[in-house]
Structure 1
């Protein structure tokens, strides 16, 4: 019997369906499904894992965060116990009957490691199978691709798996050691622990430094002149050709020179060609998804689901050049039935020769992301359909003609002052016809010729200020991380999500909390190595060397331990100073505003018994003013007050969307919001044809009024004459390492 091991259950089922020479027999070992069929004249069983089945962790004697010195974790033994016991038992049972094994996990470092982990379970059950292992590598779960891959079996790459395991071990060692040190220094335990990571921390520093740069920015005034002209048709705006005036007097003089008419002195036209975009690799795909409002972590999960369902190719790739082996016409034939774009696919099929665009990165592991199967809109959730359409439309765009545009510029003279306006219109849509995400609206301007005179109907001087540098959006941050060598295409979305989950950042564009800024500041000051991208990028290159066989795992992990010892030495000599910096940030986040009765600060507190949070006055026990708080989500002070009741406003992070509310439950505005939210909830529930995504969103949105109403009863319990801040630590061993899904 031949045993095929896939990364997930649905992949195992699809492989069985594609390879079977006859019927597939469904079976289970306890609750783990497997599929039996004949392939190439031999009985074959296909089984899926649940990702990693071994979980790296430290021995039990290191589990107490307060009693174990964090530095002991640097050289502590790392255990790899089985985390998925049911899956492991099923593999052992099937391995005992097997004569050979084929690993069919995802083809990348993580997938190779997952496959090697499964093999360790196989060999434990039947050691002699070590000489009968092959590897199947494919980039799409389609019949053609899977069949080809199983006809061209290769050897398992232990170098690739070692690179994945090195990352796993290094991230656990660094994450556990530094997270425990920071949590101990600040006495933040249990769910309140402060995480530090080899990639997470320099990424946080990037965000914090941009925010501090914005705060330090000193705006400079400037002035612009804008006029409204009219030539019998609709009025239109023009600007002074000088652009920004740094001197107000100069700007006023220019404004006063403008007359009641303006004459066209020049009409200039310039044609432009905009080439079609390059094929999607992981970073460009996640960046494009972010521009649609789907964050990198969520977009990566959706893409993974679409891949395992057979609708798109493997979504983790650096490649931006389609391989010659990819049958573009076959893909177009599949897409002819896709809603909204089928006509474009048909038109491309009718072309004599297909010339896809080429990006700058060409690799041999996986092709760029492209659609591999047809699916209807009705069969997917709304967010899945958006991602599927994005991939489909990008693929069609890469095969389409360039777009062409015409830029027209009109220059005027009025009283010796130059005025100008311009507009761009698309003359040939080309690829923009199928990929509208990059399209800008046409800018129509009047049809005027040189010498034409128009009326100046209005003129004004606009006082403006220079603006600070923009914050990073999630898509932009992904590109910066890639440029700096922070993380990998597989791990970057999770790193960004971790920053949100730990309360270090919020919103998009990304805004760091005061806690996030203070942690970044403390690390920069006392552990510059982990705050900088250089050290992390160096370790990333070392892991690349492992995968290429240039060095071994042990050497790289030992090198990382040596680096960590230096980092720890610097930190450990500054525990009190580090704690002071971080606590300033935490207290700032927990200070919501001024008490209306005493004038003291209103701060977030926790009831000692129930652990529920509420707002209390810092002047307790002299002042007993309290307010309830939502018990779910992170609380961010906005620095604003409610225009209706004057109480502080907060931003609540949780669910799909953040929401802003004041802390006074009796505020008339809040009562109106609760009523509107309840009506909206009932309206959503009444939509019989709602899709799964619509239903999920309705349930998520419905949490808001229930949270708001819930806090009214919580307030009485939380603030019943108790101003305790509840800082009693609760012991909990938190997961310290991160792994790509």
Structure 2
């Protein structure tokens, strides 16, 4: 209810809930999504060997697997090329088995139906319960994967002897005697899921689920698949490789269980001491890849592993986070967190509790099991759990603004705080000036709650969304009691604390300034001018073509500043006449007469500079005072500034070229704002 009032425009009709099971379930989805967003691929190189005779091509894998150093890999590759003859060091043949499944429990049924039948967990359990109510299968909600001794398995197998699809296999199971591969779990209440009555009249998904239960039952009573594996180790000029082959001897359970795959892998008949000439020897490259998004089966596995929910509730928790719009499905298969879901998780995690992690709920589940085992008193568990959740609740209410700020970032809406009486109030800190957009409310300076940074925004939200974001180089800021002497209307000055040396030579690390437009250099560097309205989510979007990235290295400090290419000086409206006395810059063009407007000892003084725009790559660094005097320090500053820009253009161009070469699917986009040109680490919205 509270969040519906804080974000009335987008959440007023939404049902938002926290659950000790549903929230860790959401946390798994968000964690995997962030792992993918933050993943940085690395290039690697490896050597492959092929030996093809007739239609059989055997590939030998490098024993080193891969190297992340191209030069090292190339040296080893060229050494192999010098003497490419392969010598067989060892040939190993050993029996190989593919294990039959253990008896079926609820979790495995849900996972198998999702992966192999294309039926989600909730629908699977609905179908299974219907089959149970009709007497076709046993109770489908069980954690047991061990058949009890008193269960007559032979009688259950006999029910299926007449089936055209698996009747012959059932007869072989009876002939050999049912031999189940037992699991390790028992809930002491229900046996594993198994067929209790034969039918062939089911349709569609009900038929698929029933057939899977029957085939799984017969498979686990059969024998493991048997084969023979051959491993061949070779050496080429000191580098070792290996290949393996597989010959299936007996399919056994695989005859009735098509959900598992095991196939022959042919290999030549090699002998120890033999030598041969490879038909292929190549060095290839590749890139490490990010993990896949979670599927429903993956999510159920994580819930089971960490003790979140039970076999009977997994599907329900997953359906809850889907219906709340915390997550969605990509390609109807992979879970992706929504803006609401990822905002909730980050908000709670920023409070320091890691409530999206499974620890709290897993501890409760462990205590409940101890109660069932008689090793812990229910009253003690109740007291301990209430104390834990009470502490979390109290601290959460004290830091609730962190949740608001996190949601505001992802929903792209400014949150509104609530007073204790439920009335809305602005979350403003201090007033700066009247908002130029709505001309009713005032602009205020605020600090981000969930991450470092500051921004100026209208306190008339949500009616007015005028917002200005300050760059990361501003590490502290506060509105002073002083007003700007140049701007009318009593504009308050802001005291900025910049990253060490990040603003030199233009400004000191601590500076009281006005961002209302009178200090044009400061506004250009910060990319903020509060004299004009700005209603977009961010005033530092990467689509601004006049923005470059400048790296300033001063001593041990290294600071990144987003610096808009600016004309630091005001052009004189009196253009110079074209005559033989005209001043020319190093480009050979007529120089432009400019006037210093910064608050320096040279304010108002005129000078000549290159007439080309400052963003032009070939712009020269010509400088000459109009009165004929020369200031070495000023000239040095301008030269340094131009050189820094040129150097950084070169660095940025190299970086862009490298990024384009390494990207197979277009330019990488930010995980927060979805814009290209930067990552979430330096996103202006973070």
**Normalized against structure 2, the TM-score is what?**
0.55
Aligned equivalents of 1:416, 1:541: Cα separation in 2: 54
Cα shift at 1:251: 1.4
Alpha carbons 1:516, 1:585 under 8 Å: kept: no
1:331 aligns with 2:156: yes
Which of 226, 244, 248 aligns to 1:404? It is 226
Alpha carbons 2:91, 2:232 under 8 Å: kept: yes
| Deviations 1:374-409, CA, capped at 9 Å, x for gaps | 121xx3333222221221111111211122121112
| Deviations 1:112-152, CA, capped at 9 Å, x for gaps | xxxxxxxxxxxxxxxxxxxxxxxxxxxxxxxxxxxxxxxxx
Aligned equivalents of 1:552, 1:448: Cα separation in 2: 66
Q: Which runs of 5 or more structure 1 residues have no equivalent in the other structure? A: 1-179, 589-617, 621-645, 650-741
User: What is the aligned partner in structure 2 of residue 133 from structure 1?
Assistant: none
Change (3 A) 1:543 1:233: closer
- Residue 511 of structure 1 aligns to a residue in which SS? strand
Q: How does 1:534-683 map to 2 (within 5 A)?
A: 534-541=359-366, 543-544=368-369, 563-587=388-412
Aligned equivalents of 1:534, 1:239: Cα separation in 2: 41
Aligned equivalents of 1:242, 1:559: Cα separation in 2: 52
- Residue 436 of structure 1 aligns to a residue in which SS? coil
Aligned equivalents of 2:193, 2:171: Cα separation in 1: 21
User: What is the aligned partner in structure 2 of residue 281 from structure 1?
Assistant: 105
- Residue 196 of structure 2 aligns to a residue in which SS? coil
User: What is the aligned partner in structure 1 of residue 165 from structure 2?
Assistant: 340
User: What is the aligned partner in structure 1 of residue 545 from structure 2?
Assistant: none
Cα shift at 1:286: 1.7
User: What is the aligned partner in structure 2 of residue 524 from structure 1?
Assistant: 349
Aligned equivalents of 1:527, 1:346: Cα separation in 2: 60
Cα shift at 1:214: 3.1
Which of 117, 122, 130 aligns to 1:305? It is 130
Which of 224, 229, 232 aligns to 2:46? It is 224
Aligned equivalents of 1:462, 1:274: Cα separation in 2: 32
Q: How does 1:424-573 map to 2 (within 5 A)?
A: 424-505=246-327, 506-507=329-330, 508-526=333-351, 528=353, 530-541=355-366, 543-544=368-369, 563-573=388-398
Which of 10, 14, 17 aligns to 1:195? It is 17
Report the structure number with the largest CA radius of gyration: 2
Q: What CA RMSD, in Å, does the superposition of the two structures yield over aligned residues? A: 3.2
User: What is the aligned partner in structure 2 of residue 369 from structure 1?
Assistant: 193
Range that drifts further, 222-231 or 326-335: 222-231
Aligned equivalents of 1:241, 1:459: Cα separation in 2: 15
- Residue 406 of structure 1 aligns to a residue in which SS? strand
Change (3 A) 1:573 1:329: same
Cα shift at 1:332: 0.6
Cα shift at 1:523: 1.6
| Deviations 1:61-117, CA, capped at 9 Å, x for gaps | xxxxxxxxxxxxxxxxxxxxxxxxxxxxxxxxxxxxxxxxxxxxxxxxxxxxxxxxx
**Normalized against structure 1, the TM-score is what?**
0.51
Aligned equivalents of 1:437, 1:190: Cα separation in 2: 46
Aligned equivalents of 2:372, 2:65: Cα separation in 1: 54
Change (3 A) 1:576 1:250: same
Alpha carbons 1:529, 1:567 under 8 Å: kept: no
Change (3 A) 1:448 1:286: same
Aligned equivalents of 1:560, 1:190: Cα separation in 2: 32
Alpha carbons 1:527, 1:570 under 8 Å: kept: no
Cα shift at 1:291: 2.0
Q: How does 1:210-249 map to 2 (within 5 A)?
A: 210-249=32-71
Higher helix share: 1
Matched residue count:
412
Runs of 4 or more consecutive aligned structure 1 residues displaced over 6 Å after TM superposition: 545-559
Change (3 A) 1:450 1:295: same
- Residue 154 of structure 2 aligns to a residue in which SS? helix
Cα shift at 1:541: 4.5
Cα shift at 1:186: 3.6
User: What is the aligned partner in structure 2 of residue 612 from structure 1?
Assistant: none
User: What is the aligned partner in structure 2 of residue 395 from structure 1?
Assistant: 217
Cα shift at 1:536: 1.7
1:355 aligns with 2:355: no
Alpha carbons 1:226, 1:240 under 8 Å: kept: yes
Cα shift at 1:201: 0.6
Aligned equivalents of 1:541, 1:284: Cα separation in 2: 21
Q: Which has the higher contact order (CA 8 A, sep 6+)?
A: 1
Alpha carbons 1:264, 1:453 under 8 Å: kept: yes
Alpha carbons 2:350, 2:402 under 8 Å: kept: no
Cα shift at 1:477: 2.3
Aligned equivalents of 1:407, 1:269: Cα separation in 2: 6
Cα shift at 1:547: 6.3
Cα shift at 1:424: 2.3
Aligned equivalents of 1:197, 1:363: Cα separation in 2: 25
Which of 89, 94, 98 aligns to 1:270? It is 94
Cα shift at 1:365: 0.6
Change (3 A) 1:239 1:541: closer
Cα shift at 1:451: 4.8
Cα shift at 1:323: 1.3
Alpha carbons 1:307, 1:314 under 8 Å: kept: yes
Alpha carbons 2:179, 2:223 under 8 Å: kept: no
Change (3 A) 1:453 1:325: same
